[in-house]
Amino acid sequence: MTRGNRQANHSRRWLLRSGLAAGGAMLARPAFALTPSPRQTAGPFYPDRLPLDSDNDLVIVGASNARAGGVLTHVFGRVLAEDGRPVPGARVEIWQCDAFGRYHHPRAGSAADPNFQGYGQTTTVTDGAYRFRTIRPVAYPGRAPHIHFAVSGPGFARLVTQMYVAGEARNETDWLLRAVRDEAQRRSLVVALAAAPEIEPDSLTGQFDIVIGRELSGG
């Protein structure tokens, strides 16, 4: 079996297992309005040009046999409207620093892990779901561990936000997270990561749902 076939089989297994882990509860529409995801800055390190490999698996670059440093982490969730309706066909982008706190960007000042994409993108499916295989975000000077997200699609303005990790001491002093004054919105950005051996050995998983507010959709 070629490496490409092995990767394809791994990806299919990962998607199936992630779907089972997510469970049917994800598909239920809430009976009340959801809390809109707050806007956060894209920061200075959004790619100045997209990498040739920009799929939703950030830990393997191209045809390389090497894996990125860091703790494997599977992030999944749904893009939803404020009334709970799924948003299919939305483009979801993520970008983050590598396991050593370095971004893939000319302004970052030092070389990043060549085995880490640093950026990925995918499209939500019928129920608004998306998934990424990446690494657990790490802290760097001035910031708590985080992953940048951008969501765009027909019928709503582009939303840039960030995902943080529950239990991180730096969350209490991160100025961007603390700048979100609404407590429910601030909580919505913080995700608990749990061991996920059923998806992949020595990996973590977390669910980050993104809610498009009425002001973005014009509703």
User: 32-41 pLDDT, tens per residue?
Assistant: 689 999 999 9
Residue whose C-alpha is closest to residue 94's, from 210, 4, 213: 210
User: What is the rounded end-to-end Cα distance, in angstroms, of the chain?
Assistant: 51
Domain boundaries, the chain: 3-217
Are residues 123 and 176 in contact, defined by beta-carbon separation less than 8 angstroms? no
- Token pair belonging to 27: 């598909």
According to the model, what pLDDT value does residue 217 have?
A: 67
Higher pLDDT, 45 or 1: 45
CA–CA dist 131, 195 (Å, integer): 16
The rounded distance, in Å, linking the Cα atoms of 128 and 124 is 5
At residue 53 the predicted structure's pLDDT band, cuts being 50, 70 and 90, is confident
Report the range of poorest mean pLDDT among 5-19, 49-63, 86-100, 183-197: 5-19
Q: Among candidates 85, 111, 87, which has minimal Cα distance to 98?
A: 111
pLDDT tens readout for residues 158-195? 999 999 999 999 999 999 999 999 999 999 999 999 99
Q: How confident is the model at residue 48 (pLDDT cuts 50, 70, 90)?
A: confident
77 pLDDT above the threshold of 90: yes
pLDDT for the residue 54 = 84
CATH number belonging to domain 3-217: 2.60.130.10
- Return the pLDDT at 106: 82
What pLDDT does 131 receive? 98
Averaged pLDDT, 114-142: 96
Q: What would the mean pLDDT of 110-123 be, rounded to a whole number?
A: 93
Parallel/antiparallel/unpaired status of strands 194-195 and 204-207: antiparallel
Q: Please tell me the pTM assigned to this model.
A: 0.85
pLDDT of residue 117: 94
